[in-house]
Amino acid sequence: MTLAIRAAARTDVGLARDGNEDSALASGRLLVIADGMGGHAAGEVASAVTVRAMAELGADEGTDPLQALGAAVDAANERIRAAVEGRPERAGMGTTLTALLWTGDDLALAHVGDSRGYLLRDGELRQVTHDHTYVQALVDEGRISAEDAVHHPARSLLVRALGGQPDAEPDLQMLHVRAGDRLLLCSDGLSDVVRDDAIRDALAAAADAGTAADDLVALALAGGGPDNVTVIVVDVTDEAGAAPSDGQPTEEVVLGAAVASATEDDPSSTGEIEPVVVDDEELRYAPRPAHPHRWVRRSALATLVVGIAVIALVGAYRWSQQQYFVGSDSGQVAIFRGLSQEVGGASVNSVEEIPGGLPVAALPEVYQDQVSGTISAADLDDAHAVVDRLREAACQAAVPRRPVVPRKPTPGKPTPAATPRATSVPRATAAPAPTPAAPAPAPGTASRSPTATPSPTPVLPEGLDCTGTSVVAP
């Protein structure tokens, strides 16, 4: 069976934004979504630069598709770095990226950030990307539930994106597809507003990729449209039996912020990459022309957005300072306040207390590993309970077991041998004979009492304090 893909791309600025920072590219071989953010009115620059760089991905036969995608992502990241150089007002701009490369049999996937990829197969929807967000990290560690993440104040805080930094490594994987599969790439303007079950229903109900893309954008707008929304729907078909679809791009199509030529914004761009075919439907989603006095609205909107972001960050920081974990500080077991993982490369924790007298090296090896990886605690009292358990384990491991001392036989008296037990026979009970009194010791001779077996003396590792545990310190 020969497979083919048919795709449809749509974008909308939403109901609360004045411009589109999303960019998208769809062709018969490459599908890309980038959601720009940060910097001074430069999120659209970051997403557009990224799409242009990805569009230059070659079609060399025999090239490993994942390696090719990874190289293209690196090139896009370098383009963003070059676009920021000499423009300090753009510092901090960046973009997400989710891309699919068709190999003729399978799809190679590259992903950075919180734009998403989904696969609908046999009526079931599965997310095939992993969000690179602070809140998703909390879910992965079991600190909060997936339901809590939906309403978390820092749910949009990215921990990985393309921003010209050297550590923006993409997730790369192969997706093995079959005829009848339908895939979706989308910015968070859809996934933050529309629940997964509604996305599944819309994808399953649509007759073709174009209809599905239109329906998903409509759902995002009906949910308030607080952000730009961009979607690409991809159908995997049996080429021999494939029916025509308005969703199949016969030529490369570019949408959103990447539509306009931006040679000035991208020093490495030649300006040659333009949308090839732009029909009425695509013009409907193109960036809107400038409006008189728009700078006033932009300023007010920017102030509002910054205010909301500050409130969200303050709320997230306050929440993080109510978290505790047990870890290691200068070789000692310590209680920390905050989060064990870094956020955006920065530490968000501090030492709350070092109980003292509990070196990490004194712990059994299994507990040393747990402390090195940090141990979560529900609150400060729970953290103290964890430390108490660790101290007990260290002290118990430090005390040797009591040796078993065999009993010495009495001189001149044979050791009684075990006598087989006879069958009991009823008989009269005789009165017990009086027990002779023990002879008094000779004058000048001290009485001798049985020798007691000495208890082992704990030999505790240096610095270990077992006070308050079941082990008595020497």
The series of mean pLDDT values per 10 residues for the chain, 474 residues long, is 92 92 94 87 90 84 86 95 87 94 94 97 97 91 87 83 89 96 97 96 96 97 95 90 50 86 45 35 36 46 61 67 87 89 72 89 87 86 89 79 50 51 43 49 48 54 80 52
User: pTM for the complete prediction?
Assistant: 0.59
Contact 471, 399 (CB under 8 A): yes
Spatial CB neighbours of 351, under 8 Å, sequence gap ≥ 6: 329, 334, 335, 336, 337
* C-alpha distances out from residue 37 to 93, 188, 263, 423, Å: 6, 12, 19, 94
Query: Which residue in 105, 109, 43 sits closest to 72, CA to CA?
Result: 109
What is the CB-side half-sphere exposure of residue 61 using CA atoms within 13 A? 0
Residue 199 burial class via C-beta count within 10 angstroms: exposed 0-12, middle 13-18, buried 19 and up:
buried
Beta bridge partners of 97: 112
Strands laid side by side in the 332-338 sheet: 349-353, 332-338, 324-329, 375-377
| Angstrom distance (rounded) from CA 320 to CA 326 | 15
Contact 26, 74 (CB under 8 A): no
pLDDT at residue 395, as a whole number: 86
Structure tokens at 104: 């003729």
Name the strand (E) or helix (H) holding 47.
helix 43-55
* C-alpha distances out from residue 76 to 94, 269, 354, Å: 11, 11, 46
What is the β-pairing status of strands 253-256 and 22-26? Answer: antiparallel
pLDDT at residue 456, as a whole number: 53
pLDDT at residue 449, as a whole number: 46
| Angstrom distance (rounded) from CA 186 to CA 9 | 10
pLDDT at residue 340, as a whole number: 81
Checking phi first, is residue 331 left (phi over 0); if not, alpha (psi -120 to 50) or beta?
A: left
